[in-house]
């Protein structure tokens, strides 16, 4: 029952994330005006805003003018619902679940905006960093654990941003400034160990994803492929499975 509720919550959150994804790159407010048809300007009422259901009921078109809505509105909502349910299945009904859900929402926004516009917005990264620091400290085991946690977050931020900056310098722009800031912000969420894992996973997933895009001819060899979605995917895996992966590596590869 709880996992269904989390899925439904994810659908609702995904609806808001769609607003962020479409308005933030244009410099628009995510609060006002109310959601409306971009073709005729008709304000969408509550029945038109029910996640996924309204899209299917209206067959993906505006109730007033019949202009088509992108199917990706529903896909983002479904993906967010599925990811929220996944978080619950792995993390369980614990306080840490709030942290996982908040980070997941940020990852969806960053990934889709970067895929669309090859852009990772500073304002989103700044909110991501602030949320990570606040939630990590709020979930600290005790006040005495806050100082070591702060050092770990600082090291994570420096490591994530530093590695990406070094790659950008060596490749002379092969890595964008947004990617650098994104990894630095994730470092604040994860600390140095899981930041290293996120870096590794991002490049592995990025290599595999890039190869698939080339094989399917969705991208050419000279086309730019945004790296943000692959960082987001690596971060999501690290979020849910990072401690287990680090423990496995320490026991089997380092013999600890």
Rounded Cα–Cα distance for residues 242 and 56 (Å)? 37
What's the whole-number average pLDDT of the chain?
89
Q: Which residues contact 234 (CB under 8 A, 6 or more apart)?
A: 197, 198, 199, 200, 201, 202, 203, 204, 205
**pLDDT by residue (tens digit) across 160-201?**
999 999 999 998 877 889 999 999 999 999 999 999 999 999
User: Distance between CA atoms of 140 and 151, rounded to whole angstroms?
Assistant: 13
Read off the pTM: 0.93
pLDDT > 70 fraction of the chain, expressed in percent and rounded: 94
**How many angstroms separate the CA atoms of 182 and 164, rounded?**
9
Return the pLDDT at 38. 73
Positions in the chain whose pLDDT score sits under 50: none
């Amino acid at each position: 029952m709880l996992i269904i509720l989390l899925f439904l919550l994810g659908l609702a959150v995904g609806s808001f994330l769609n607003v962020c994804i479409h308005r933030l790159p244009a410099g628009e407010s995510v609060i006002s005006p109310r959601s409306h048809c971009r073709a005729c300007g008709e304000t969408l009422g509550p029945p038109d805003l029910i996640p996924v259901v309204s899209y299917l009921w209206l067959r993906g078109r505006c109730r007033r003018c019949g202009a088509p809505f992108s199917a990706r509105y529903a896909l983002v909502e479904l993906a967010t619902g599925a990811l929220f349910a996944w978080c619950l299945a792995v993390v369980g009904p614990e306080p840490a679940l709030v942290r996982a859900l908040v980070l997941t929402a940020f990852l969806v926004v960053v990934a889709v905006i970067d895929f669309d516009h090859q852009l990772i917005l500073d304002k989103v990264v700044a909110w991501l960093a602030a949320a990570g620091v606040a939630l990590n400290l709020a979930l600290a085991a005790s006040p005495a654990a806050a100082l070591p946690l702060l050092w770990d977050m600082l090291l994570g931020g420096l490591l994530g941003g530093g590695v990406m900056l070094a790659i950008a310098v060596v490749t002379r722009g092969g890595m964008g400034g947004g990617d650098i800031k994104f990894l630095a912000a994730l470092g604040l969420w994860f600390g140095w160990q899981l930041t290293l894992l996120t870096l590794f996973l991002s490049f592995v997933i990025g290599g595999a994803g890039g190869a698939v895009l080339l094989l399917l001819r969705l991208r050419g060899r000279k086309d730019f492929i945004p790296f943000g979605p692959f960082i987001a995917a690596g971060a999501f895996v690290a979020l849910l499975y990072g401690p287990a992966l680090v423990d496995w590596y320490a026991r089997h590869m380092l013999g600890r």
